[in-house]
Amino acid sequence: MPLTHWLLAGAASADSEFRWPGPAVPPTIGGMAEVANASPPRRPALPRNAARPAPRALAPVPALEPPRAPEPLWREVLGSRLRELRRQRAEKLTETAGRAGISPQYLSEVERGRKEPSSEMIAALAGAFGLTLIDLTTLVTEDLRRRQLAIVGPVARPAARPAGPVALAMAA
C-alpha cells in the first residue's frame, strides 16, 4: 500500500503509536516523491441538471467616515503654549530655563512637544512665567479646546438627565 493511501485511510490516529505500514525500511526517495506530488481528494461533481447552491450574499460595507486629523497631544499643546509665553516676554531659552531650574536643551524639547514633563517640572515652568499651575493648565486646556474645535467642529453634548430626588419626583 503506498504511503499516501495509508495516510488517507487513517491508519494512524492521534492517540495510537506510529508504526510503519510495511517493511521495516522506510520508502525510498522515489516513494517520498509520490507523497509530495499527491493531489488533494476531489469533491464529486454535481450532475448537470442538479440545482446548484445559491451564492452567499455579501455583508453590506459600512460607509467610510472621512479620515479625521489626530487629536493633539497634551505635551504638544503645553509646549507650544510655553514657547508662546516665552516669546511674549522676549526671552531666550537660557533665561527661562535658568529661572525654572532646568537646562535650555530640556526646555527646548518640552516646547517642541518631544518630552513629557513631570507635574513638578510643569509647576516650575509655570512659576518661571509668574503663573500658577492652575493658570498654565487653564491656558493649555483652552488651547486644546480651540484645536479640537478646529478639527471636528462643535461637539453636541447630551442633555443632562435629572438624578437623585429630582429623578424620583419625576418618576412618581
pLDDT over 70 at 133, yes or no: yes
**59 or 21, higher pLDDT:** 59
pLDDT over 70 at 168, yes or no: no
What is the per-residue pLDDT across 71-116, written as a single tens digit (0 to 9) for each? 889 999 999 999 999 999 999 999 999 999 999 999 999 999 999 9
In the chain, what is the straight-line distance between the N-terminal and C-terminal CA atoms, in Å? 84
Looking at residue 86, what DSSP letter applies?
H
Instruction: Supply angle C-alpha 101, 117, 111, rounded to 5.
Output: 80
What is the per-residue pLDDT across 118-127, written as a single tens digit (0 to 9) for each? 999 999 999 9
Identity of the amino acid at 147: R
pLDDT band, residue 57 (cuts 50/70/90): confident
What integer pLDDT is reported at residue 148 of this predicted model?
82
**92 or 65, higher pLDDT:** 92
pLDDT over 90 at 138, yes or no: yes
- Of 72, 84, 93, 76, which Cα lies nearest the Cα of 131? 84
In this prediction, residues 25-43 reach a mean pLDDT of 58
Kindly give, in sequence order, each residue whose CB lies less than 8 Å from that of residue 96, ignoring residues fewer than 6 positions away: 86, 89, 107, 125, 128, 129
| Superfamily of domain 74-152 in the CATH hierarchy | lambda repressor-like DNA-binding domains (1.10.260.40)
Average model confidence (pLDDT) for the chain? 77
Domain ranges of the chain: 3-36, 74-152
